[in-house]
Structure 1
Amino acid sequence: MGHRADQEISTVGQAELIDGGEDLLMPAAAWEVGEKLLKGLLFKDVPLGDAGQAQAFIDAMTLSEASEIAELQESPGREAFERIRDAVKEAFVMFSAHDAPSRDDLGRMLETKLPQVNRYFVAPEPTAPHFQGEPANVFEDAPFIEPLPKDGTKGHLLEREALRYGMASTRYPNGAFVVTDLNSQKQLGFKWGRSPLASGVALSICSYKEATRRLLKRIDVPVPHGRVFSTADRDLAVQYADRIGYPVVCKPVAGLRGIGVVANIQNREELEDALTLYQQSQLGDDDFVIEEHVPGEDYRIVVIGDEVVASVVRSAASVTGDGMHTVADLIEYKNRARQENPHLSSRPITLSESLQYQLKLAGLTFSSIPEAGQTVLLANSANLSQGGDSFEIADEMHPSIKELAVKAVQAVPGLGFCGLDMLIEDHRKPVWEQRCTVIELNAHAAIGSAQYPMWGTPAPVAKKFFEATAAASEITLPEHQSKRLTLRFDIRGRVTGVGYRKWFGKRARRFGLTGYVKNASRKRVEAVVSGPADAVSALGYLATTGTTKAVITSVVMTPVEDPLMEQFQVMKTPTLRGLLRRVKRQVSQLF
């Protein structure tokens, strides 16, 4: 889609990137060149509606841009680019035609097609998100974390800290890993973000929201009034909400990532809609909680031992209008900004039924064009997994709020680490001047949100978490961490004859690493990898995945001397014929 200053509406060209029911391979280069074509057509004074000049411009740009990119030389990359190029031409040629799509046509297209579209582009693109004049944070390790599975980032960050302290690590494909202190031979076991700092009992208590609420209420930690209901008690839940008064919150009794949560429900009709949405969610068969909606901003406070080490205030997913772009445009480019954040890249704003419900409450649709400066809320809960924004503010938080947070965490036996959720009116004021309410305790490591806030100073949560875990096991860590690593990878499983070495070498080179990979035996591959700690440790995590035919059982990473190689090499496996020739040569030399 494209806009020109002297034109009121945009037009649309579609590129179907599916062939025979299967998705076409979509190189990033094809996408980038497609965007350059549209921007060039809009800003190079190519006459609107002039198909000949548009085609000439596209052909010239294709020669100068696309033909120089290796990924676009052969199918299917070439085919993907050609479809994008044709869509750009179609949109541009129709831009000022008499039968060009109207705003209503554009709206119908967005409402019906958008849920099926993974990505699109507009020109000019919306301004990148800012907060109080500051752009979003940029993180150097984002390219290395981006390929990792969403739920594995927590564990990877902890493993990276251990490797930087000179430890060895054995990683398994189920998210578990064990790090070994090479001096004392003591070991620490982790599973995703779970560690010895949180006991099984603590995990069980925190995962059941009603048990947590009752425990905290017993020690005078403020919690919202609420009750648990089964799915068969829907009418009783509505009556209870009527009795305690609106607004209320509906949420699963045991859940993660804000799934099924609907906040700030204003009346019975909205509650009925919220309960229907809950039943349609993936937790819809579970018990749910109806509780009072407490005013205040949503905070995730990270507590390790008796110290608050980070605090992130979260705001609900939103976009800001500019008077030119549609809500759909603004969502697309807000998601692009989130892709630059290691924690938020796998948590985009999704075009869900709950999002459409939120837009409906505001009288908007995907094709609406908000006024400049207008904030459009896209969710009713401040959850990062639902597209929310994050701001690190621990340095500004009043000491009395920190004391309350520590008190709440210490109420749960065996909980040495916690991500505590609170609703606070103003984090700079003491608790006795406002209402501060604890709404949830999370025993699973809440590392990423504080380590990678969208705005504010990042907190080294993973480092402090790992250091506390080591101290609890009486492991003495070195005074400094290494910025570069050289590790020997011992990779076991079905890893020979399945293209694993080639796959491994491609990713090592993509990360800018040096070293080598080779077959060590029929069920074992060995590699030595050297480079920045962020990249080497991320490759260690990826090594447990491999090709579709590979089955990895374990990856052991041990510190070794740097082989000082200039590039990364995939060493060939000697063939039987080659071995026979070598034996013949050796025998002939003896005689």
Structure 2
Amino acid sequence: MSKDHHLEHLKHSLPKDVVTYQTSFYTVALEGWRRGLKLNFYNNKRGSVPPLAYQYSLSDGENEYLFTCARGSKTSDKAIDLAENKSTAYKYMKRNNVPVPENKTFTFSKTSIEKMCKHGEKIGYPLVVKPTDRGSGKGVYTNITSRKRLEECISKIRDEFKAKEVIIEQYFAGGVDYRFYVIKDEVIAVTKSYSSNVIGDGVNNIEDLISERNKDIRKNVATKNRSIVIDNDLKRFLEEQHKSLEFIPENGERVFVRRHGTHLGDRLNVDCTQSVDPKFKKYAIKALNAIPGLPTGSIDMVINEEKNEGIVNEINTKGEIMMHVFPFEGRAIDVPKHLLDFYFPNSDSRNEKFYFEFKPIKDLLFNGYADQISIPMIPKEIQYQKNFTIKGKHLGPRYLRLLKKQAVKLYLIGSINPVSKKWLEIKAIGSQEKINQFEKVINTLGTKKSKTEDVTATQFEEFEGNSNISFEIISDV
């Protein structure tokens, strides 16, 4: 995995629970908040899938925009409807001279599966079938080469996905899936998706390489649920390549262990922003601009790298950007920065010292305890740190809660680490004035049982680390 697969300012700023799809909206919200914008989260009760369950707004006092995933409210509702209906999107792109596969859309209530299959055979095998209203590869069946398989796939889309319409289209042979993130007339980032694979070192066999590969997969917040599972399907695919789990690939040799077009949710993304042919970037820009009212979005393309040919097969308005910000291989692209530059061109430079936890927000919204949560503004003035050691008697849960309450009242950031009921370590971050007030509290606060016997403190230092903005008790004693 590349050393630059992570952006420096995010290395220690992602909460542990922010993984996979959540990284797409968290990184945008964090970027805006770090620029001094007002951040609110909302419970999106209309959200039918996890990426849509939460919405958030960013405001600079004059302009406010609502975001879903990485899609902001400069995108019109009509644009969303046009782009997310694959049949309509194809028509608009074709008018704008964007290469799309030959295709035909059918309505189940008006056309029999037999007639659909006849038209599909006119297009010619191999074929792809998919519902018009699904994304992320759901309900997509590729490389269909027989009438029987075509009937099966169309029936599944109707019965299992409850789709009202289906698209039958030409399969683009020998293609690799690419995703382009576009803002207006500029391609910001490009990744390609490889099916599960390993890279040889000339020493280890495929089984051992899979084990090592899985360690890297789990380390990456965007791919950590995409581990390679050794099953009969994997073994058969290796056999088709005249290989087995015991085969030792040469150093640098990439061996695919899943067939292209299968296990779509387990694919691994490789950044290729700098290396992709500029003509495909032009296709992506034309595809985005084919949809009126769509200033940002992701363009999915299938590219035959040997022939240097490609077609656009989907527009994603939500802008799921995790594969660009956290690619499995290659250079990370700071898409959130580009997006916020577009929405708030006059916003401040970001303060990279702080971040916010997301789990408490998610729990309150998901469980219905709140419809809206406002995140405290990021500190603008210089923040200082002072550490305290408290020794005494009966410094238990009640005393800890009282101490935390006073720290929160003073808008301090930091933590209390209760080593024992006789010993506490405290980190306080804030203005010197507020920390001095807190120090007075430490020296005077007590309960009927608790008693402070000795307090030592470090000197003030300008805070240069990385911290979430809460004041926490690390654990009760």
TM-score range, shorter chain: 0.5 to 0.7
Equivalent position to 1:407, from 286, 298, 309: 286
Query: Could you tell me which residue of structure 1 aligns to residue 37 of structure 2?
Result: 167
1:216 Cα offset (Å): 1.1
User: For residues 308-387 of structure 1, what are the structure 2 equivalents within 5 Å?
Assistant: 308-319=187-198, 334-348=213-227, 369=245, 371-373=247-249, 375-381=255-261, 386-387=265-266
Greater percentage in strand: 2
TM-score by length of 1: 0.55
Could you tell me how far apart the structure 2 residues matched to 1:300 and 1:202 are? 19
Query: Could you tell me which residue of structure 2 aligns to residue 436 of structure 1?
Result: 310
Aligned residue-pair number = 374
Structure 2, unaligned runs of 5 or more? 45-53, 390-398, 406-444, 449-477
Could you tell me how far apart the structure 2 residues matched to 1:436 and 1:564 are? 55
Equivalent position to 2:360, from 499, 519, 543: 543
Kindly indicate whether the alpha-carbon contact (under 8 Å) linking 1:194 and 1:444 is maintained by their aligned counterparts in 2.
yes
Q: 3-state DSSP class of the match of 2:139?
A: coil
Q: Which amino acid aligns with 1:559?
A: I
Query: Could you tell me which residue of structure 2 aligns to residue 468 of structure 1?
Result: 342
Could you tell me how far apart the structure 2 residues matched to 1:339 and 1:277 are? 32
Query: Could you tell me which residue of structure 2 aligns to residue 483 of structure 1?
Result: 352
User: For residues 559-574 of structure 1, what are the structure 2 equivalents within 5 Å?
Assistant: 559-560=378-379, 562=383, 564-566=385-387, 571-572=401-402
Higher relative contact order structure (alpha carbons within 8 Å, sequence separation ≥ 6): 2
Kindly indicate whether the alpha-carbon contact (under 8 Å) linking 2:20 and 2:223 is maintained by their aligned counterparts in 1.
no
Q: Relative to 1, partners in 2 of residues 1:189 and 1:563: Cα closer, same or farther, differing over 3 Å?
A: farther
Query: Could you tell me which residue of structure 1 aligns to residue 413 of structure 2?
Result: none
Q: What's the CA shift string for 1:252-287, capped at 9, x where partnerless?
A: 211121112222223334435544665675x25443
Q: 3-state DSSP class of the match of 1:571?
A: helix
1:571 Cα offset (Å): 3.1
User: For residues 102-501 of structure 1, what are the structure 2 equivalents within 5 Å?
Assistant: 137=5, 141=10, 144-148=14-18, 150-174=20-44, 175-181=54-60, 184-230=61-107, 233-272=112-151, 274-275=153-154, 278=157, 283-295=161-173, 296-319=175-198, 334-348=213-227, 369=245, 371-373=247-249, 375-381=255-261, 386-426=265-305, 434-471=308-345, 476-478=346-348, 480-485=349-354
Greater percentage in helix: 1
Q: Relative to 1, partners in 2 of residues 1:421 and 1:543: Cα closer, same or farther, differing over 3 Å?
A: same
Kindly indicate whether the alpha-carbon contact (under 8 Å) linking 1:260 and 1:284 is maintained by their aligned counterparts in 2.
no
1:379 Cα offset (Å): 4.6
Q: 1:557 aligned to 2:376?
A: yes
Between 1:220-229 and 1:546-555, the stretch displaced more is 546-555
Q: Relative to 1, partners in 2 of residues 1:236 and 1:347: Cα closer, same or farther, differing over 3 Å?
A: farther
Query: Could you tell me which residue of structure 1 aligns to residue 427 of structure 2?
Result: none
Q: What's the CA shift string for 1:91-136, capped at 9, x where partnerless?
A: xxxxxxxxxxxxxxxxxxxxxxxxxxxxxxxxxxxxxxx6xxx689
Q: Which amino acid aligns with 1:245?
A: G
Between 1:200-209 and 1:551-560, the stretch displaced more is 551-560
User: For residues 66-77 of structure 1, what are the structure 2 equivalents within 5 Å?
Assistant: none
1:150 Cα offset (Å): 4.5
Q: What's the CA shift string for 1:8-42, capped at 9, x where partnerless?
A: xxxxxxxxxxxxxxxxxxxxxxxxxxxxxxxxxxx
Could you tell me how far apart the structure 2 residues matched to 1:567 and 1:545 are? 32
Q: Relative to 1, partners in 2 of residues 1:346 and 1:242: Cα closer, same or farther, differing over 3 Å?
A: same
Q: Which amino acid aligns with 1:266?
A: T
Q: Which amino acid aligns with 1:148?
A: V
Query: Could you tell me which residue of structure 1 aligns to residue 396 of structure 2?
Result: none
Kindly indicate whether the alpha-carbon contact (under 8 Å) linking 1:250 and 1:262 is maintained by their aligned counterparts in 2.
yes
* Percent of residue pairs identical: 21
Q: 3-state DSSP class of the match of 2:313?
A: strand
1:187 Cα offset (Å): 2.2
Could you tell me how far apart the structure 2 residues matched to 1:260 and 1:418 are? 22
1:408 Cα offset (Å): 1.6
Q: What's the CA shift string for 1:198-251, capped at 9, x where partnerless?
A: 211111111110101111112221110112234573333332332222111122
Q: What's the CA shift string for 1:538-580, capped at 9, x where partnerless?
A: x1x2221348988344243213354635389963389xxxx9x
Q: 3-state DSSP class of the match of 1:255?
A: coil
Q: Relative to 1, partners in 2 of residues 1:412 and 1:356: Cα closer, same or farther, differing over 3 Å?
A: farther
TM-score by length of 2: 0.67
Q: What's the CA shift string for 1:436-492, capped at 9, x where partnerless?
A: 211111111131111111111111111101110124xxxx212x321213xxxxxxx
Q: Which amino acid aligns with 2:312?
A: V
Kindly indicate whether the alpha-carbon contact (under 8 Å) linking 2:210 and 2:228 is maintained by their aligned counterparts in 1.
yes
Q: 3-state DSSP class of the match of 1:405?
A: helix
Could you tell me how far apart the structure 1 residues matched to 2:388 and 2:324 are? 35
Q: Relative to 1, partners in 2 of residues 1:469 and 1:272: Cα closer, same or farther, differing over 3 Å?
A: same
Could you tell me how far apart the structure 2 residues matched to 1:284 and 1:223 are? 25
Kindly indicate whether the alpha-carbon contact (under 8 Å) linking 2:206 and 2:248 is maintained by their aligned counterparts in 1.
no
Q: Relative to 1, partners in 2 of residues 1:567 and 1:226: Cα closer, same or farther, differing over 3 Å?
A: farther
